[in-house]
Amino acid sequence: MQISRYIKNPIITKNDVPFKVNSIFNPGATKFKDKYLLLCRIEMPDGKSSFIKAISDDGYNFKLDEKPVLTPDDHHQFINYVNWGIEDPRITKINDSYFITYTGYSKYMPLVMLAETKDFEKFEIHGLISEPSNKDCAIFPEKIGGYYWKIDRPSAEERKDMWISKSPDLIHWGDYRLLLEPEKGTWEHNKIGLSTPPIKTKDGWLLLYHGVRGFGISNLYKLGALLLDLEKPWIVIGKTKEPILSPDLDYERIGDVPNVVFSCGWIDEPDGKIKIYYSGADSNICLAETTIDDLLSLCK
């Protein structure tokens, strides 16, 4: 398997946060002004999550901000949909704007929120782009056939499948279609969901997704890759047969939620390498590296 964990994992833990948090994990990732930027989920001592920014010159050594950059309280008219926390940001750059899809959590259960920023200081909160229950959403980085596209994961009673839909303006969504359902009897038996925003490759749209299987009292979260048709992104043209990353090391096994590897962001380099930012056991931020070509060959 052509995927390697960074030897100094985890790269960020709660000890790096300059104030008291329960945990830091599940960051969205992007390049911003030639630096690596992570928008990290921090779970505060009261159990509600906010976001904090981390910046790096090399993608390995990050410096965290002094304070959160986006909190539930910043959500004003949307506060009732996020007052149990904001979680799991995914970042897509379109032209000179960064669009962030994330989970708004409240007594109404998870739903998908959309915010936009140009500088990662000020955020324009566009509001809800799903009803509950829904999460694990990211937007494609360009229009396809004249429309924006997103993938998300509604929870419909027992069903936990990935869906795709389109929009003329990123706000109003429709043309919903099933994209992928869990393959029964395998590592993704119980549920799947999008992990990283799609990247355009010569062979199709490439993305990571997570699969979950319950064993005894534990759920195992693993990562796989998925390849979608470039012009018709609702068509799956390839998928990894086995997970590309599974919880194995102590920092993936032991933590708030044991036996989890979970990713919300990755950064592709001009030379075809790709940095996958992920979290172990909902308790840290880690890095794994591979190449686009390796992932593509595993999807065929």
Interacting residues toward ligand BMA by CB under 6 A: 26, 87-88, 221, 257, 260, 262, 282
Q: Cβ 256 to ligand BMA, closest distance in Å? A: 8
Q: For residue 65, what are its two tokens?
A: 């901000």
Q: Cβ 263 to ligand BMA, closest distance in Å? A: 9
- In the chain, the largest separation of any two C-alpha atoms, in whole Å, equals 47
Spatial separation of the C-alpha atoms in residues 124 and 276, rounded to whole Å:
27
H/E stretch holding 253 reads helix 250-253
Q: Cβ 249 to ligand BMA, closest distance in Å? A: 17
Q: Which of 140/262 has CB closer to ligand BMA?
A: 262
Q: Which of 26/284 has CB closer to ligand BMA?
A: 26
H/E stretch holding 292 reads helix 292-299
Q: For residue 17, what are its two tokens?
A: 């946060």
Q: For residue 119, what are its two tokens?
A: 């500088």
Q: Cβ 260 to ligand BMA, closest distance in Å? A: 5
Q: Which of 88/252 has CB closer to ligand BMA?
A: 88
Q: Cβ 16 to ligand BMA, closest distance in Å? A: 19
With beta carbons less than 8 A apart as the criterion, state whether 246 and 222 touch: yes
Q: Which of 260/267 has CB closer to ligand BMA?
A: 260
Residue nearest to ligand BMA (CB): 257
Q: Which residues pair with 201 in a beta bridge?
A: 204
Q: Which of 120/262 has CB closer to ligand BMA?
A: 262
The Cβ of residue 250 has, within 10 Å, a number of other Cβ atoms equal to 10
